[in-house]
Amino acid sequence: MNQSTIDEAIYNKYIAPTKLKKERYVGIEIEMPIVNLDKQPVDIEKVFDMSRNFQTEFSFDVCSEDDDHHANAMESPFTNDNLSFDCSYSNLELSMGKGKNIHELKERFDSYYTFINHYFEKYHYTLTGMGINPYYNINENKPVPNERYRMLYHHLHTYKKYKNERRIFHDYPEFGTYTSASQIQTDIFYHELIDVLNAFTKLEPYKVLLFANSLHPDEAEYLCSRNMLWEYSMQGYNPHNIGMFEEELGSIEELLEYIKSTSIYCVMRDGKYINFKPTVIDDYLKRDKMEGEFFDGNGYRRTEFVPDIADLAYLRSFKFEDLTFRGTIEFRSMCCQPIQDSMSIAAFHMGLIDNVGELAQILNEDSVLYTHGYNATELQKMMSKVELPEFVNREKLKGQLLRLIDLADRGLKKRGYGEEKYLLPLYDRAEKLSNPARDMHDGLMKGRSVEDFIKIYS
């Protein structure tokens, strides 16, 4: 396949849709752990019972079933809201169809969440707002039995093949079954694309200070272990597929070159996913054939196949600022938040994106974090941990966080929907230099129980 064909296809997938945007909508995705309060593994039959009743209550249509004919995704034909199970049946996701303002999405989310938790009460189950299932080591952590999640589970377990390549891997390949994110998507316009990617990349160290919420019992140094789990897994085999842009982007052309340097690791042929060693997409599309493996119903078999330009549909990165084929930016670095604060992430991003010029100026002139010889990626990792670096002046850090929240507040007031109220918990976090994970960490150190925080965060 020649280079011009590849370049044109990538441009049409990622860049062209941004030229079609006329309005800015927002979509919100919230993944939440399902917790069995009896400290037993989640019984998926009870989850199926809840989802059947949810479907009836809200007139959702089943859009995906697993191999055993259980619904693992359903959608409203009226709002495009979606209930699904992310990787496992103990991780429930509510994805709200796009809206003009956060209020309308919150109203629908609250109705779904209330119904689900009320239904779960009779089983002594609950949803809770945490980035890691607090009983992850009790649950079975099995993937949803369908083509996609079986492939993903298998892919994550192949890391042992590559340990001799001087790559660092953790030993939690099941992490996808018990980690929960809170993501938003918003329309991006062509003229602002590079500015938004650059500014929000530099914002990441400050974001993790506000939103960290994934304590992992075996990784005690982290308040936000989700990002570590992604980075040191097969998803991070190619560092360009995860995390942040290491260098500031100068143009659309540089962004396209970056996308061409990301890797593809699966395609579908004849209804079956084929998994293979992550391969840079620019190289993959120039090959005459590839080798991979697929599940034949009993085990994995080797196969050969021919790369095709249509395989771009299976190229997916997990950048913190992820440009999608929909002409949207998906902000995906944040942990699931305590449910009462569930809209704070959307409010923060929507308040800043229309003020991206002022946001960039604040961060380009930053002397609190960015004048100590570290780049955004290094700083984000430092701020993800329990202990702040010695060079951080806590009062100046607090002031900079408040300045960023104030900018988001002004942006939301300019939008005119009254969404700024969702920023209130962030002011409290900035004043205390805390976040949900730090509150939980400190509480556990003082003798409070995990069960206390399951309840508080639900």
* Residue 211 maps to a domain: yes
Report the candidate in 277, 271, 242 with the shortest Cα–Cα distance to residue 258: 242
Query: Has residue 351 got a pLDDT over 80?
Result: yes
State the pLDDT at residue 454.
98
Which is it for strands 290-295 and 125-127: parallel, antiparallel or unpaired? Answer: unpaired
Percent with pLDDT over 70 in the chain? 100
Query: How far, in Å, CA of 279 to CA of 265, rounded?
Result: 6
From residue 291, give the alpha-carbon distance in Å to each of 195, 287, 302, 306, 451: 39, 11, 7, 9, 48
State the pLDDT at residue 177.
97
> Which tens digits make up the pLDDT trace of 91-135?
999 999 999 999 999 999 999 999 999 999 999 999 999 999 999
**How many domains would you assign to the chain?**
2
Same domain as 240, residue 104 = yes
Same domain as 299, residue 336 = no
Average pLDDT over residues 326-352: 97
Report the candidate in 204, 215, 213 with the shortest Cα–Cα distance to residue 436: 213
Same domain as 330, residue 287 = no
Higher pLDDT, 381 or 22: 381
Query: Has residue 22 got a pLDDT over 90?
Result: no
* Residue 4 maps to a domain: no
Query: How far, in Å, CA of 126 to CA of 434, rounded?
Result: 25
Same domain as 443, residue 340 = yes
Question: Could you identify the residue written with the tokens 């913190």?
Answer: 320
Query: How far, in Å, CA of 180 to CA of 178, rounded?
Result: 7
Give 423's pLDDT tier (boundaries 50, 70, 90): very high
* Residue 1 maps to a domain: no
Query: Has residue 407 got a pLDDT over 90?
Result: yes
Q: Within a 10 A sphere around the Cβ of 227, how many other Cβ atoms? A: 26
What is the DSSP-derived secondary structure letter of residue 379? H
> Which tens digits make up the pLDDT trace of 364-398?
999 999 999 999 999 999 999 999 999 999 999 99
Average pLDDT over residues 344-355: 97
State the pLDDT at residue 217.
86
Same domain as 106, residue 234 = yes
From residue 34, give the alpha-carbon distance in Å to each of 93, 131, 183, 368: 10, 12, 18, 39
Same domain as 444, residue 412 = yes
- CATH number of domain containing 171: 3.30.590.20
Render 252-265 in DSSP notation, one character per residue. Answer: HHHHHHHHHTSEEE
Same domain as 178, residue 42 = yes
Query: How far, in Å, CA of 454 to CA of 458, rounded?
Result: 6
Strands of 45-121, DSSP E? 61-65, 71-75, 82-85, 91-99
Query: How far, in Å, CA of 2 to CA of 281, rounded?
Result: 13
* Residue 268 maps to a domain: yes
Q: Domain span at residue 438?
A: 11-257+317-457
Q: Is 99 exposed, middle or buried (0-12, 13-18, 19+ CB in 10 A)?
A: buried
Question: Could you identify the residue written with the tokens 């941004």?
Answer: 18
Render 203-235 in DSSP notation, one character per residue. Answer: HHHHHHHHH--B--TT-TTBSBHHHHHHHTSGG
* Residue 307 maps to a domain: yes
Query: Letter for the amino acid at 367?
Result: S
Three-state DSSP class for residue 180: coil
> Which tens digits make up the pLDDT trace of 287-321?
999 999 999 999 999 999 999 999 999 999 999 99
Query: How far, in Å, CA of 239 to CA of 262, rounded?
Result: 8
Give 163's pLDDT tier (boundaries 50, 70, 90): confident
Same domain as 338, residue 277 = no
Query: How far, in Å, CA of 419 to CA of 158, rounded?
Result: 44
Query: Has residue 147 got a pLDDT over 90?
Result: yes
Give 1's pLDDT tier (boundaries 50, 70, 90): confident
Please indicate, yes or no, whether the overall pTM of this predicted structure exceeds 0.85.
yes
Listed range (8-12, 159-163, 195-199, 423-427) with the worst mean pLDDT: 159-163
H or E element, residue 376: helix 376-383
What is the DSSP-derived secondary structure letter of residue 142? P
Average pLDDT over residues 212-229: 94
Query: How far, in Å, CA of 281 to CA of 297, rounded?
Result: 29
Average pLDDT over residues 139-158: 96
State the pLDDT at residue 234.
96
Three-state DSSP class for residue 63: strand
> Which tens digits make up the pLDDT trace of 231-282?
999 999 999 999 999 899 999 999 999 999 999 999 999 999 999 999 999 9
